[in-house]
Amino acid sequence: MNTNSDEELLIGLVSISDRASQGLYEDQGIPALREWFASALCSPWRMETRLISDDQATIEATLTELVDAVGCHLVLTTGGTGPAARDVTPEATLAVADKVMPGFGEEMRRISLHFVPTAILSRQVGVIRGQALILNLPGQPKSIRETLEGVKAADGVVLANGIFAAVPYCIDLIGGPYIETVEAVIKAFRPKSARSPAPKEQP
Per-domain residue ranges of the chain: 9-191
Is the confidence at residue 199, as pLDDT, over 60?
A: no
Instruction: Report which residue type is found at 26.
Output: E
The CA distance from 134 to 26, in Å, is 24
Is the confidence at residue 105, as pLDDT, over 90?
A: yes
Q: Per-residue pLDDT averaged across 118-132, rounded? A: 96
Q: pTM here?
A: 0.91
Angle CA 121–75–83, to nearest 5: 15
Flag the least confident range among 28-32, 190-194, 195-199: 195-199
3-state secondary structure at position 16: strand
Domain 9-191 has CATH 3.40.50.300: no
Would you place residue 24 in the very low, low, confident or very high pLDDT band (cuts 50, 70, 90)? low
Say what the pLDDT of residue 26 is. 74
